[in-house]
Every structure is written in C-alpha cells, then in structure tokens.
Structure 1
Amino acid sequence: MTADRQTVLSWIADLSATIVTDVDDLSDISQRIAAAPALEAAAFAAEALALTRIIAESVTLPAEFDRIAAPASASGETRQAFSILVAMGSAIAGCRVEWPSRPAARRARTRVSAAGDAGAAAAGSLGGDGADLYAWLTAVTAVSCRLISDIAADAAPIIRVETGVSLPSTVLAYQLYGDATRAGAMVDLAGSATPMIMPTLFDALAS
C-alpha cells in the first residue's frame, strides 16, 4: 500500500503534540518522525503503526480518544492506511479511558468496532501481504470491545435531572452527590454553557 507519507507523519505529529505528555516519549516520536521518510515501504508502515501505538497508550481522556480519527481529506490508499492506524489506535486507546458513564463507554465500543471493521477491510485489500495484519487487527478489536464492555458494566448509569429552576452547578453537585467538587464533570456531561447557570433539564451520572 502506497500512502502519502507526509500526510501520515503530520497526523502522527499532531496527535502526539495533543495527547502525549511524557517528555521522553515526545522526544522519541519526534526523532522517529524525522527519520521515517527514508525508510522502505514495509519499514515505514511498521514504524507508523508503532508510533500510533505509543500515542494510543498515552490516552487517558475521552477527548483524547476522540482525536484518533482519519483526516477528512485523506483518500485512496492513504485513506486505507489511516483506516489501519485508526483501528489499532482506537482499540488500544478505547480501553485505557475511564469512561464516565455507561452510554459513553458503549459509544466508544461502537467506534472501536466500526474502526476495527474498516481497518480489517483495508488490511484485507492487501491480499496475502495483509493476512497477518488482518488477523491481528481483528483480534485486537475484539479484545478491546470486551474490555470496554466490562468498563460499561461497572460505569454509572445516566439519569435525567429536572430542577424547574436554573441553579449553580456546585449547588446541584452537592444536592446530587454530596460533593460540590464534582460540578465540573457534571457541567461537561450536561453540555452546559456556564457552570453558574445549569439547564433546568439535563443528564447526570446516577452516582
């Protein structure tokens, strides 16, 4: 598969800059990105997978997981290459996040499954050369989905809160959980524009 190397490397660089926090990992990724253009095709593909794995292993937040997506402008064989990278990255990252609720975990599992299907299809298009990659992606995706299912089973369900009057998030967090410091997470889940005035109807964690 012949992908646009610069597009792939730019994507990896952007992801590492927004997700990876370990200084040594960032330095290693930067050096390997600089050396990657000179690699043979097979070696470049393996290096792109390895770098994506490092980034995925650094994911801890839902927003970071959401960033592992192919550029909308990618097409042809470059798009297929991204399908493989996103499949692996999503599978690894998806089971590293402490999903805040069952619905969030289930949405992540759906994304991992869909990315795995797309990645496996791209690997399958390589014929015999992609057989091992196809089998590996399929197995990794299946394991990740099972782990995310376990996370979903343990995560808190969502409840619908109706107050009748707008209240500050800290007040509502204390009323719901006895802990005003949980206001920030409640605001994020509710999608409120400001923590000072919450909607009168919103979703919140049950516990």
Structure 2
Amino acid sequence: MDWLTDLLDRFIADKAGRVTAAKLVAKMATGGEAGGTAYLEACRLLGEAADDGAELLATLDDVTDTSTLAQVGVLVVACFATLRVDYAARPDAVRARTALSNRAGPVVEAAGDAFGHVLYGWLSNLVGEAMLQLSQIAATRAPLVRVETGVSLPAQLLAWDLYGDPSRDAELVERNNTGTAMLMPVTLEALAP
C-alpha cells in the first residue's frame, strides 16, 4: 500500500506517531489477519494524527489505487480525518457529512462483497459513528446568513459592521471566494453574528 506509506510520511509530523506508523507498516508486510488489522490501524492513525485534516481529505481524492482494499483504507482515513477538521459554520459540517456519505456508500458495499460481513459491519458502524458526530458538530456551529449591501464594500468594513472586529475580514474573503478584500460582492455569505 504505497499510497498509505506515502501519506503517513507526509502527514504525521510528531515523533511518537512516526514510530507507531513505522511499526504498523512493518506489521502490514507480514500479511494475514495481523497484517490486515495493522493496515486498518495505520489508516486510523493517519486520520487521527494528521496535522491538517482538510488537506489530508483533499489528498485522499488523488489516491489512484482503486482496489477495494485501498478504498476501504481511504474510507477509514476519511472517517477519522473528517472529524478533525474545524467547521466554522453549520453548512460546512453538513457538506462534510454529505461528502463522507457519498464516499462511503459504494466502498462499504464492495468491502462486504470482497471481505465478508465482519468488515462490512465494522465499516458500517465506523461510518455511522462519524456521521453521528458530524451531525452533533453541525448542531453546535453558527448558521450562515446572507448579507446584501447594495454596494461593494471592503471586507474590513463589513467585518467591523457584522462582528465589531475588522480582523475577521479574511474569513469573509475566504468564505465568499473573492480575489480581493477591497471590493466584496454586494451579496455574500457570513457566519451569523
């Protein structure tokens, strides 16, 4: 599983995590049930220990190994990494839950067909728990509001008007995917004040 060892090297920065990853990779090479368990543990470790969960999730889309085993690993990583991302708004967490659901459906079915009911049940429970936690996260996040100004204003002024904090201008620029903070769109999204 070259994709997994590459991502472990790339995303796990702390020494203890790297040592654990090396042990799991060595155990994976032994094959059999112990190797399979080590593979799933390495995927869990990657998803939990990655410093940047959002970047890791984006990188998972680039995994070219389409084997069922690789896709099971990608799903396990995604379940843990999705929960590590900090979602500022309720719709962000809902989109993450939808993306995880879309990723999980075909993989869980294929895993059940290829590896049996034990892995199918385990994966179903893992995905279900991740979805439940994402729903709980979404319930605690701020809703988005639609702001209409009628005229293009600088992001700092909008941040001051909305939040009383001009330093939140970067948040408005990023959320609305604008190229400049000087002239924001006349209709934009913002976290509810």
TM range (shorter): 0.7 to 0.9
1:68 Cα deviation after fit: 5.5
Identity of aligned residues (%): 32
1:54 Cα deviation after fit: 0.9
Gap change, CA 1:12 and 1:177, over 3 Å in 2: same
Alignment of structure 1 residues 56-135 onto 2, 5 Å: 56-59=47-50, 63-64=54-55, 66-67=57-58, 69-71=60-62, 73-75=64-66, 78=67, 80-126=68-114, 129-135=115-121
Per-residue Cα deviation, 1:39-88 (whole angstroms, up to 9, x for no partner): 2254443322211111111357562353263546333xx2x122211222
Partners in 2 of 1:146 and 1:30 — Cα distance?
31
Listed as ranges, the gaps of 5+ residues in structure 2 are: none
Counterpart for residue 177 of structure 1: 163
Among 2, 7, 16, which residue is 1:24 paired with? 16
Contact 1:156 1:206 in 2 (8 A): yes
1:30 Cα deviation after fit: 4.7
- When the two structures are aligned, how many residues end up with a matched partner? 193
TM normalised by structure 1 equals: 0.78
Counterpart for residue 55 of structure 1: 46
Moved more, 14-23 or 155-164: 14-23
Gap change, CA 1:94 and 1:37, over 3 Å in 2: closer
